[in-house]
């Protein structure tokens, strides 16, 4: 299924901030400035804005900023804020949900629970938006995003909305491959209706129990991005890092969590360079001791050193 809709509107419903500090928009609470930061009031307005940009403009889509590190030199391009737009969330039939890319994973999990649907409980453990979950096949507590997807809608650089079947994408653990220069704006998910006494493959978990487990095993209420590294096949990244003696390891203000070794915390005004250096140190140490090279989940973007970007001008 492929359908393109050219969405035309004016640009009055767009807020553009020049040289915006990305430390205000990432969960690590650090990083340089973006050349321009864009917040749209609606999807049509966003589509029109993107269509107006040069074809070679660097774009970075940011939701809750929980999987992104912007280097201290900043991002020389346009950051698209998805939070507050693409927020549709509705039940299509008794077991099918339409969800916008700007909906938080935890909100989706609560919505499905309210409607007695199972399969989406793991979204409560994802500290980001649905758009980011689609982009990387995010998962938690044994569940993953893409096995639930039956269709998506994407936005391209021409401002066109395209509807696609899930089978137009390839996915695996923390990996999704699909058409280039398209960004997710929504998904249609197929779940299961809960029936008393029936056993389910995903071992339905009460949301309160899941969140309690997360609080017991992961650092919460601190500046982190969630899990930093993917789990190598047959291993857990946190276990490899802990076995390499790196719990509590610090570079500048960045420190490996004592509670969960696959978390790096901004403990004391860490720079993006502190965090990136700690990531590289972990990779090298684990490789030296185990022969396994850990691959980051986090997206690292931008320039290492500042140029002309300075914080604070609004249009």
- Rounded Cα–Cα distance for residues 107 and 105 (Å): 5
Per-residue pLDDT, averaged over 166-189, amounts to 96
131 conformational bin, left if phi > 0, alpha if psi -120 to 50, beta if neither: alpha
Mean pLDDT, the chain, whole residue set: 90
pLDDT beyond 90 at 84: no
Report how far apart the first and last C-alpha atoms of the chain are (Å, whole number). Answer: 39
Give yes or no for a contact between 192 and 112, defined as CB atoms under 8 angstroms apart.
Answer: no
Please, what's the largest Cα pairwise distance for the chain?
A: 63
What kind and span of H or E run contains 97? strand 96-100
Local structure of residue 232 (DSSP, 8 states): P
pLDDT beyond 90 at 234: yes
What residues are annotated to the active site? 174, 227, 297
Query: What's the pLDDT score for residue 314?
Result: 33
**Per the structure block, which two tokens stand in for 285?**
């140490």
Tell me the H-state helices in the chain: 43-52, 105-114, 130-136, 207-217, 237-243, 272-290
Model's pTM, two decimal places?
Answer: 0.87
pLDDT beyond 50 at 27: yes
- Torsion from C-alpha of 14, 17, 23, 24, nearest 10 degrees: -60
Query: What's the pLDDT score for residue 65?
Result: 94
Percentage of the chain lying above the pLDDT 90 cut = 81
Query: What pLDDT digit, counting tens, does each position of 101-149 carry?
Result: 999 999 999 999 999 999 999 999 899 999 999 999 999 988 999 999 9
Write the CB contacts of 6 (distance below 8 Å, at least 6 apart in sequence): 158, 159, 160
Query: What pLDDT digit, counting tens, does each position of 196-233 carry?
Result: 656 545 445 577 777 788 788 888 889 999 999 999 99
pLDDT band for 293, please (50, 70, 90 cuts): very high
């Amino acid at each position: 299924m492929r359908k393109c809709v050219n969405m035309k509107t004016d640009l009055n419903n767009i807020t553009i901030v020049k040289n915006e500090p990305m430390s205000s928009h990432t969960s690590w609470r650090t990083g340089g400035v973006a050349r321009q930061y864009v917040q749209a009031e609606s999807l049509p307005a966003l589509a029109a804005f993107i269509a107006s940009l040069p074809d070679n403009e660097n774009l970075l889509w940011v939701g809750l900023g929980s999987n992104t590190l912007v280097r201290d030199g900043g991002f020389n391009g346009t950051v698209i804020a998805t939070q507050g737009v693409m927020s549709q969330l509705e039940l299509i039939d008794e077991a099918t949900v339409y969800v916008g890319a700007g909906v938080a994973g935890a909100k989706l999990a609560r919505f499905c629970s309210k409607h007695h649907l199972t399969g989406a409980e793991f979204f409560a453990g994802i500290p980001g938006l649905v758009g980011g979950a689609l982009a990387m096949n995010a998962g938690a507590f044994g569940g993953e995003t893409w096995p639930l997807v039956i269709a998506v809608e994407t936005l391209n650089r021409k401002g066109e909305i395209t509807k696609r079947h899930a089978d137009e994408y390839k996915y695996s653990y923390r990996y999704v491959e699909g058409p280039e220069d398209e960004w997710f704006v929504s998904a249609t998910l197929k779940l299961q209706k809960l029936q008393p006494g029936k056993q389910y493959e995903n071992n339905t978990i009460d949301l309160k129990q899941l969140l309690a487990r997360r609080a017991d095993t992961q650092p919460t209420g601190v500046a982190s991005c969630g899990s930093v590294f993917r789990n190598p096949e047959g291993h857990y990244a946190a276990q490899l890092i802990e076995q390499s003696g790196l719990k509590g390891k610090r570079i500048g203000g960045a420190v490996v969590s004592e509670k969960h070794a696959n978390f790096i915390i901004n403990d004391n005004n860490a720079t993006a360079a502190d965090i990136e250096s700690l990531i590289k140190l972990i990779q090298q140490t684990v490789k030296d001791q185990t022969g396994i090279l850990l691959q980051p989940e986090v997206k690292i973007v931008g320039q290492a050193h500042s140029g002309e970007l300075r914080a604070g001008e609004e249009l």
